[in-house]
Amino acid sequence: MAPVNRTLRTLEDGDDVVGAWLLSRSTRAAEVVARTDVDWLAIDTEHAPHSPERVEALIRAVEPHATPLVRLPSVETTVSGGAKHALDSGAQGVIVPGVESAADAERVVRATHFPPVGERGVAGTTRANEYGERFDDYVANANDETLVVVQIESPSAVESVEDILAVDGIDVAFIGENDLSSAYGYPGEKDYSTVTAAVQRVFEAAEANGVYPGIAGRTPTTLTERSNRGFQFFLLGADLSFMRTGIEEFLDG
């Protein structure tokens, strides 16, 4: 069968999950981060130049220790083969930026699920189904083990968020605060009232639709405060930022 998605099971049990972006091409760096207490790692193909071959290599490094996800560049890339390639390579879910409408969300769900739920192509020999050895089990169970995360990161997405998150098959609504604050005209000002109101609206829409709310928790204080508010899916940062801040903290100490 498809490997059990430990991150999805943890969310279903009512617990929080934490993870990070993988921007570096280094499989060793990916393995080091995966061996920490993170639940998931997302190979970031939106902001880093990862080839499909590199994505598969990074999935191999991550999967013994954490849930491998892939952040795709856009809804269009997701539906034009990006989701299929990532999942066939062994990713256990995708994160999709720029979801603006219920129609976008429906396209994402169709691209990430096998029929009859969706339209994901069924291949006989992929890494995900152990090159055909577990074909039947994988096809039968993959839909239940695939984590689908949509990013809500624009004013128009916020205005449509209730409809977006009503689409069956969306698991997590991840709020992109950086993009939201910029789009509202207050770059980096995540505490500006317009931004915080948008965050609250997305959170409430997620709860109303049985979708797990996600957001960044880049410091222990922020992580604890947002967990207490009810957020469950957390981004801690990125592999490259951990390298930089680790050295800076060492030298400052």
Catalytic residues: 47
Contact (Cβ atoms closer than 8 angstroms) between residue 41 and residue 62: yes
Angstrom distances, CA of residue 89 to CA of 7, 26, 86, 105, 107: 18, 17, 5, 22, 21
Quote the CA–CA distance of 233 and 248 in Å, as a whole number: 27
Alpha helices in 89-145 (DSSP H): 102-112, 135-145
Other CB atoms closer than 10 Å to residue 98's CB: what's the count? 21
In 3D space, the residue among 175, 161, 169 whose CA is nearest the CA of residue 78 turns out to be: 169
CA end-to-end span of the chain: 49
* Sign, CA torsion 18/97/87/62: negative
- Asked whether the beta carbons of 71 and 46 are under 8 A apart, the reply is yes
Which two structure tokens, joined as six digits, stand for 223? 């992580």
Compute the distance between CA of residue 236 and CA of residue 161 in angstroms, rounded to an integer: 24
